Amino acid sequence: MSKIETICVQGGYKPGNGEPRQVPIIQSTTFKYDTSEAMAKLFDLEASGYFYTRLQNPTNDYVAQKICELEGGSAGMLTSSGQAANFYAIFNIAGCGDHIVASSTIYGGTYNLFSVTMKRMGIEFTFVKPDCTDEELEKAFRPNTKAVFGETIANPAIVVFDIERFAKAAHAHGVPLVVDNTFATPINCRPFEWGADIVTHSTTKYMDGHGAGVGGAIIDSGKFDWTKYPDKFPGLCTPDESYHGVTYTERFGLGGAFITKATAQLMRDFGSIQSPQNAYILNLGLESLAVRVERHCSNALKMAQFLKSHKNVEWVTYPNLEGDKGYQLAKKYLPGGSCGVLSFGVKGGRKAAEEVMKHLKVIAIETHVADARSCCLHPASATHRQMNDQELANAGVSPELIRLSVGIENVDDLIADVKQALDSLDK
């Protein structure tokens, strides 16, 4: 099998003789057939092919296939955003009356999706701290629990998720572990190798990497055996009446059932498809992913070391920094580097943090991370402002926390910018 850098460049789309070298953008809503019978086979899921881009599009499938190869999965799909990816991944196996165990240190948007919107759909979530005791974790499960969810590296708390431990707990209860691998990317961590069953991505972040296109992806490992728990996962193990009685696990096997169901039901009904144009842009980003991630990580480590040495900085969180509370987990799951995002607290609390932000010149204030351009954010007054103090604390966000997404510029320029901003507090 090819190494990861090669998959970044050459995975997915495999042109035949005389075909375009670069992934073609199939900018077409629909596809033509010679007979009604041929199309009927597609509608019955008896043949694979394309009929309407709300469900599937070839450009998207080429790119999904590349991400699937990067993660070492069995099947994958693109979605219009990371939010859609996490929603589909959970809703594909949980409905009204079901329950999910999730790490409390997750992205603010995902926390809202789970605790507000999906709760309104009748799905209950129990949030556990990623460093909870075994007893606390065990107590979180219920007979109607359908999945466990966490982020490899939490956004914005930068806490490393103990994938193997949570996978074991999930499997002991007969449910899959879903891991949002947005920040680590498969360059730094491949959650399937540690027991995760489903991986999601906001491709908006490092995978695109240029702040150009919002998107998401879901990849299935194909390893979770739904058929061992048919009562828990009737949607995968019993006939789907909305698809002429197809039983996904029987027809598509363990490797294809999850993604086929998510495409045939959820994409059909909710329609959060990625545009083929965006998928093309995403693929350009994927080509350089391995090279960029390496630079993001080396820049971020140097920045973290600099911040740690500055007298106006109270604390720095970066898992590859020796002494960091995530250092041991990072050594296990992220030995080659974690990501370009770090967080730090300025001495003087919320006011001092806002003051430092004002003085930055090279690093821009943005609600974004994982971009080639460095940017920063004060979550307590932006992404996490809907949360009260207790929820903020549970999410690992304190009022003085600045999230800094270190880009791929020359690190000396970035450090000089942060230095003058921090020094301005002395004036």
Q: Which residues bind ligand PLP (CB under 6 A)?
A: 81-83, 86, 107, 109-110, 151, 155, 180, 182-183, 202, 204-205, 214, 216
CA angle, 62 as apex, 59 and 66 as ends, to 5°?
A: 140
The answer to whether the CB of 144 falls within 8 A of the CB of 97 is yes
The tokens describing 162, both together, are 């103990």
**Nearest distance in Å: CB 242, ligand PLP:** 27
By beta-carbon proximity to ligand PLP, the closer residue of 69 and 151 is 151
- DSSP notation for 302-348: HHHHHHHH-TTEEEEE-TTSTT-TTHHHHHHH-TT---SEEEEEETT
Question: Which residue is nearest to ligand PLP, using beta carbons?
Answer: 82
By beta-carbon proximity to ligand PLP, the closer residue of 53 and 155 is 155
**Nearest distance in Å: CB 275, ligand PLP:** 14
Q: Which residues share a beta bridge with 377?
A: 403
Output helix, strand, coil percentages for the chain, rounded to the nearest 5.
45, 15, 40
- DSSP notation for 336-361: T---SEEEEEETTHHHHHHHHHHH-S
By beta-carbon proximity to ligand PLP, the closer residue of 92 and 110 is 110
Among residues 250, 228, 207, the alpha carbon closest in space to that of 70 is found at 207
What is the spatial distance between Cα 112 and Cα 389, in angstroms, rounded to a whole number?
Answer: 15
SS3 70: helix
What is the spatial distance between Cα 124 and Cα 109, in angstroms, rounded to a whole number?
Answer: 17
- DSSP notation for 250-283: HHHHHHHHHHHHIIIIIIHHH--PPPHHHHHHHH
**Nearest distance in Å: CB 31, ligand PLP:** 27
By beta-carbon proximity to ligand PLP, the closer residue of 237 and 262 is 262
**Nearest distance in Å: CB 201, ligand PLP:** 8
**Nearest distance in Å: CB 84, ligand PLP:** 7
**Nearest distance in Å: CB 204, ligand PLP:** 4
By beta-carbon proximity to ligand PLP, the closer residue of 274 and 320 is 274
By beta-carbon proximity to ligand PLP, the closer residue of 123 and 246 is 123
**Nearest distance in Å: CB 384, ligand PLP:** 13
Cα distance between the two ends of the chain:
57
By beta-carbon proximity to ligand PLP, the closer residue of 266 and 415 is 266
The answer to whether the CB of 64 falls within 8 A of the CB of 277 is no
**Nearest distance in Å: CB 81, ligand PLP:** 3
By beta-carbon proximity to ligand PLP, the closer residue of 341 and 421 is 341
